[in-house]
Amino acid sequence: MSVASFSVTPIAGALGAEIDGVDLTTPLDHATVAAIREAWLEHLVIFFRDQDLSLAQFLAFARCFGEPIEYPFVKGLPEQPEIIPVLKLPHEAVNFGGIWHSDTAYLEMPPMASMLVAREVPPAGGDTEFANMYLAYETLSDRMKHIVDGLVGINSSAAADTSRTREDRVKDSGRADARKEYVAHHPIVRVHPETGRRALYANVAHTVGIEGMTQDESRAMLTWLFRHQVRPEFTCRFRWRPGSIAFWDNRCAQHNAINDYAGHRRLMHRITLAGDRPKGV
């Protein structure tokens, strides 16, 4: 495949781009992988359409960019444990991941990236939103940047709203070795290890407090940050079709799976890629 054979088209002003002209069922050469990674770093989340990937092909694509890791709470597929099903059944009321978050920020070394491929989608609804955490930081006033630059967030897997979004899958495919709670302390302003840019790294699903602050002080600061992070001008929205793929950077983007398709089934397959320990300013 020639690198020149694919196009990159932004889908919103803040982040997100569709890549067209790449067949992910075939092995990618080094130049193409490097060009895709460059587009990913620039746009934070990239999308591919009409990719009828087998599980092995999906895993091979992911390995071009990092090391697939298993999810701590839900078992992966028997034939490919690094791939987990993200499923909502017609009778279920709550969807997996239906809250703004960066994946598993409660781990000491949260994943660098995540990928989803759509297998079954509802006739309408089930879109995913993404938000640019570079912009969320860069649009703060200088005074607010000075305040947040040194803060450390306390992240927990046991936040009530987050637990609810995975409880159906934990019931039917939970991991026996999962801890009751994972907790990690990370800087609220994270320096991206590849781009060097600063991004807000706190999210409403996992960040439950701030080191050195009272509960009331933490709540006030975090409530404001959570609202600021997802202003419409920082976001994009992606509509799925079977065979669509999203590949996003957890270090500088958040996402939210919209739960607006009651009575319908939605099935995605997800891979997360190993990351490093977040570093602050």
Q: Identify the helix (H) or strand (E) that includes residue 87.
A: strand 84-88
Closest among 37, 43, 7 to 22, alpha carbons compared? 7
The HSE-up count of residue 90 (CA atoms within 13 Å, CB side) is 4
Closest among 97, 34, 124 to 270, alpha carbons compared? 97
Contacts of 139 (CB under 8 A, 6+ apart): 228, 234
Residues 108, 110, 114, CA angle at the centre, nearest 5°? 165
Q: Name the catalytic one among 103, 186, 206, 266.
A: 103
Closest among 51, 57, 172, 62 to 119, alpha carbons compared? 51
Question: Residue 39 carries which side chain, given as an amino acid letter?
Answer: A
3-class DSSP state of 43: helix
Residue 77 φ/ψ, nearest 5 degrees: -65, 145
Q: Name the catalytic one among 101, 166, 186, 266.
A: 101
**Is 101 designated active site?**
yes
Which ranges in the chain belong to alpha helices (H)?
A: 30-43, 55-63, 133-138, 142-148, 160-173, 215-229
CB 45 within 8 A of CB 130: yes
**Is 192 designated active site?**
no
**Is 255 designated active site?**
yes
CB 55 within 8 A of CB 244: no
Q: Name the catalytic one among 43, 119, 255, 269.
A: 255
Dist CA 208 CA 215 (whole Å): 9
**Is 103 designated active site?**
yes
What positions carry a catalytic annotation? 101, 103, 255, 270
